[in-house]
Amino acid sequence: MSNLYRSFVSGFCSHDNIQVAGSGTGPLAGLTFGVKDIIDVAGQTTGAGNPDWYKSHAPAPRHATAVQRLLDAGASMVGKTITEEFAYGLIGENYHYGTPVNPKVAGGVSGGSSSGSASVVASKQADFALGTDTGGSVRVPASFCGLYGIRPSHGRVSLDGIMPLAPSLDTCGWFARDASLLRTIGSVLLDESLAVPPQRVLLAEDAFELADPEVRAALQSAIRRVEDRFGEVEVVRPSEMAGLPGYDVWQSVIQVIRGSEAAASHLAWMRESDAAMGPGFRDRFEAGGAYTAAQISDAMSKRAMVEDYLAGLLAGDAVMLVPGAPRAAPPGGANEAVYDDLRTRNELYNCAAPLARLPQVSLPLGETPDGPVGLGVIAGHGNDEMLLDLAVALTD
């Protein structure tokens, strides 16, 4: 059994019940939202999923830019949501605060690290919620909980007032239960540009090969729906790119970049404070701090190759289909081997968008015997509106 597992709880943080009324007018008037607890809300200490951090830091002096935009657009904030510690996780279990419930899968985790945000939206405790995505922390919870979710292009949504994990990979995304609301939130958080429909649809065959057979079967109807709307898919195998073949190589690149940047962000505080952390969490930061300058330089060079390759592949308004996650939500308290398998398979192919700074949506269009699964759609950098419009088009 997972040594992190604690009983299922509400996705809202138990150490505060802060609520903030919105302006009451605007495109989000009358709607409610939750905020992942690495995102600042004025007057509230940003807890980062760790009690020692929460106790040793002062309340935020102002709202994060993304929160302020949502309030100004009329929505009201109804609570901070549980995150895995320092947003460094994929499962959704928090050793200190519990495991946010997944209402779509009895006994299943909601996915991390934006576990609470996905949970409160799926449970209809909020209309939408903010999360962050560094290596999958919006896309995987959205897939597990049957939600729409987006990881925007790096740089499209302000990270002002959001605690960093790995700054060159971090993004602020959001969850909703319907595509039209996902799109409306985009109109508030993005400085919008003209969107055009995709002109080509690619299917990453090698990414689907990493998913469970049940996931591949469940997403066939979704793929056909995309083809009916946007044209026949073209099969591609990104892992076979010239000069840097193999998703295992891509995975090693994101591990070095994320680990080294995470260590730079937080390891000094962890060592100085000797904070109590869930099993294995500090180890991730310590491992990141052990990478050498040569290893980091090599990873950055390889990242540039992946970024250039995917920019070319997705040029001309193309999109690429991948599984939102490689499996449905595993049970809470599962053996660590189950979670390690999920982490590995997800990271092998879902590292593509973070490495290349690309937007990716998860669309709740599949259902396996073990729960919902999302269809992931990746677009070229800056084509976030294309993905949001695609999500709406596929609900027509």
Q: Which residues are catalytic?
A: 36, 113, 137
**Inter-residue contact 39 to 67 (CB < 8 Å):** yes
**Inter-residue contact 255 to 247 (CB < 8 Å):** no
d(CA 136, CA 149): 11
Q: Give CA angle at 64 (58, 67), nearest 5°.
A: 125
d(CA 247, CA 206): 9
**Inter-residue contact 148 to 363 (CB < 8 Å):** yes
C-alpha closest to that of 388 among 227, 196, 219: 196
d(CA 14, CA 98): 10
Task: Read off the tokens for 350.
Answer: 């879902």
On the 0-12 / 13-18 / 19+ scale of CB atoms within 10 A, 177 is middle
d(CA 149, CA 337): 27
CA distances from 13 to 19, 98, 275, 318, 333 (A): 12, 10, 19, 40, 20
Respond yes or no on whether the N-terminal peptide bond of residue 114 is cis (omega within 30° of 0): no
Task: Read off the tokens for 33.
Answer: 């939202």
Q: Where would I find the beta strands (DSSP E) of 139-256?
A: 148-151, 171-176, 200-204, 234-236
Neighbouring C-beta atoms of residue 312, cutoff 10 Å: 12
Neighbouring C-beta atoms of residue 250, cutoff 10 Å: 24
- Say how many CA atoms lie within 13 Å of 240 toward its Cβ: 7
